[in-house]
Amino acid sequence: MTAKKIGLDKVYLLALFAAGLGVAALMIRNGHKARLTEPVALGIMGFEAPLPAGESWDGSGRWTFSQGSFVLESQLIMNRRAAAMVKWRYLLSPVNADAQQLLMLKARSYNAVAVANGRCQKGQLTIDWLRAESDSGWFGGEIFMFGLANLPNGHTVMLEVAQFGGMSEMFDVLFESLFEKAVIKTSEPLEAGRKFVNELKEKGFGHLPKSLMSMMVGGSGRTAGFTVSGYSISDEPNQALKSAGVYFISIGGRKLSEQSAFKANKSFDDFQWSVVSPGAFSQAAAGRSLLLKDGIVSVHSGSAGNLIDTFAVPENALPEPLLDAAVCEFAAGSQKTVMIEMINSDYGLVPAILSRGEISGELAKRINPAYAVQIDMLHNTGSTQVIYLNSAFEAIRIEVQTTPAVVLEHFDLSEIINNYPQWQSVIEAIVAAVKNKN
């Protein structure tokens, strides 16, 4: 049997790669600990996580929001290829399933086979872990370590560490050291937000806005669209809270619209929510619906209602159609900052930070608001808006801090219909659907 000849260029690359991993091992290993950065804070969540230190590790060094979770990651680049990878994932959705089953599914997503698993304590965290291997890697196999830990605040953190091509000693040390240096702190805005939402569930909405009718004004001062929404309260068990709304935007030749209908029980832990975008209610194929039952949201798409996603939510999650009402309650209260875990039809669970805005200058003289509430949405693109309310808790101006800026000002319903007569039937149907019975 003759051995297959390997070209000198391949031998050189293989040697160079192996040397690179050896250098990486020296950079990472320091006794029995790995060289790590200072923990990177996930701002208002009260969680901090480190990354590997060293010039060959490449990452942004900041958390980003993606598909209902925050991600912090870095790659070890050797010879312009990824030799290792570290990814922290902070999950807003609670993990109610068996941790080892979830880790097994994660391993399968990489076409890797589990070889060991267990539970251990590292630093402040109790970790369910799983080790998996795959033979499909570059110049050898791939080794994966997955760890899952439930946090005291009900959220979950997952760590993925991948090693492409040996050096398992360095790999094990790195995985353990990352968890050991993670930091858990109490998030006062998160705790205040949960208390705030729990009180809404128990006491109800005392300042539920009867209607919100605004017209959008772009940076040029020209009207660019409108939004109309309404709310109602009744004694019907499964329809104690109802909300319906529509918006239409036309900027730079682009036209967007969305219509929604929402009904829930008094504690809004059982709801039905339909969203249609774009077009009219009849275009169900372009819509989606969300159902919350027993702590699980199921997302359905199209007229056939095909199930496309499910996710668990915390007990005190707030559905987005009730956000305007929550803003009124926040304005009437005394809290300075609260963080709400909001159920969003596009992004799943999204943190929304409510804080008190400033009322000053010419704007204060012109519209004389009684309250100003700032909302910071921490989803993929992020957004900030300031809502100005009068003493009756009606929104009289909304400033959306985008480029260009968009301002929503309160108009009478008749004015909106005069400017957008093609929407008259839809607007009137929404107003009738949420006509207050109380």
Q: What is the 3-state secondary structure (H, E, C) of 181-199?
A: HCEECCCHHHHHHHHHHHH
pLDDT at residue 279 is higher than 90 = no
Task: Please answer whether residues 300 and 307 qualify as being in contact, where contact means their C-beta atoms are separated by less than 8 angstroms.
Answer: yes
pTM of the shown model: 0.83
Residues of the chain with pLDDT > 70, as a percent, come to: 83
The answer to the question of residue 271 being in a domain is no
d(CA 66, CA 68): 6
Q: How far apart are CA 155 and CA 309, in angstroms?
A: 19
Residues 59 and 100 in one domain: yes
Lowest mean pLDDT across 98-112, 260-274, 280-294, 349-363? 280-294
**Is the preceding omega at residue 50 within 30 degrees of 0, hence cis?**
no
Q: Indicate whether 419 belongs to any domain.
A: yes
Is residue 300 one of the residues assigned to a domain? no
Q: Quick one: 380 and 249 in the same domain?
A: yes
**Which stretch, 42-46, 371-375, 376-380, 431-435, has highest mean pLDDT?**
371-375
- Give me the pLDDT at residue 346, please: 81
Tokens of 378: 């921490």
pLDDT at 181 exceeding the cut of 70: yes
CATH at residue 64: 3.40.1000.10
Give pLDDT, residue 199: 93
- Give the chain's mean pLDDT: 82
Q: Domain ends where: 142, 157, 186?
A: 186
Q: Which residues of 116-142 are buried (b: 16+ CB within 10 A; e: fewer)?
A: ebeeeebbebebbbbbbbbeebeeebb
Instruction: Kindly state the average pLDDT of the residues 264-272.
Output: 92
Q: What is the mean pLDDT of residues 361-380?
A: 88
Q: Give the per-residue pLDDT at 285.
A: 40
Residue 150 phi/psi, 5-degree rounding, is: -85, 130
Place of tokens 């039937």: 425
**What is the residue range of 67's domain?**
8-186
Peptide bond connecting 351 to the previous residue in cis, omega within 30 degrees of 0? no
> In this structure, are 154 and 244 located in the same domain?
no
Residue 308 covered by a domain: no
Q: How many CA atoms lie within 13 A of 121 on its CB side?
A: 1
- The distance of Cα 111 from the centroid of its chain, to the nearest Å, equals 27
Last-in-domain residue among 136, 155, 186: 186
**Residues 347 and 377 occupy one common structural domain:** yes
Is pLDDT at 48 greater than 60 in this prediction? yes
What crossing angle do the helices spanning 8-28 and 168-181 adopt, rounded to 10°? 30
Question: What is the percent of the chain with per-residue pLDDT over 90, rounded to a whole number?
Answer: 42
Are 256 and 264 spatial neighbours (Cβ–Cβ below 8 Å)?
Answer: no
Residues 124 and 149 in one domain: yes
CA distance 242 to 321: 9
pLDDT higher than 60, residue 276:
yes
**Same domain assignment for residues 67 and 138:** yes
pLDDT of 11 reads 37
pLDDT at 409 over 70: yes
Same domain, 63 and 205: no
Averaged pLDDT, 212-221:
70
Q: Is 253 exposed, middle or buried (0-12, 13-18, 19+ CB in 10 A)?
A: exposed
Question: How sure is the predictor about 353, in pLDDT bands with cuts at 50, 70 and 90?
Answer: very high
Q: Are residues 24 and 151 in the same domain?
A: yes
Residue 424 domain flag: yes
- Report the pLDDT value the prediction gives residue 30, as an integer from 0 to 100: 44
| Whole-number pLDDT of residue 223 | 78
Q: Phi-psi bin for 249: left (phi > 0), alpha (psi -120 to 50), beta?
A: beta
Instruction: Read off the pLDDT of residues 192-214 as tens digits, 9 standing for 90 and up.
Output: 999 999 999 998 888 877 667 78
Task: Let me know whether 37 and 64 are in one domain.
Answer: yes
Same domain (yes/no): 333, 411 = yes
Amino acid residing at 136? S
- Does residue 263 fall inside a structural domain? no
Q: What is the pLDDT of residue 33?
A: 56
Least confident window among 28-42, 382-396, 415-429: 28-42
Q: What is the pLDDT of residue 211?
A: 67
Q: How many domains does the chain have?
A: 2
Q: Is the pLDDT of residue 168 over 90?
A: no
Rg of the chain, C-alpha, whole Å? 26
Identify whether 284 is part of a domain.
no
Answer yes or no: do 234 and 377 share one domain.
Answer: yes
The residues pairing with 243 across neighbouring beta strands, listed in sequence order, are: 231, 262
Region of poorest pLDDT, from 116-130, 191-205, 272-286, 307-321: 272-286
* Residue 1 within a domain: no
Instruction: Please tell me whether residues 68 and 217 are part of one structural domain.
Output: no
pLDDT at 219 > cutoff 80: no
pLDDT tens, 59-90?
A: 888 999 877 789 999 988 777 666 788 999 99
151, 168, 186: which is the final residue of a domain? 186
Max Cα–Cα distance, the chain, nearest Å: 93
Per-residue pLDDT band for 34 (boundaries 50, 70, 90) equals low
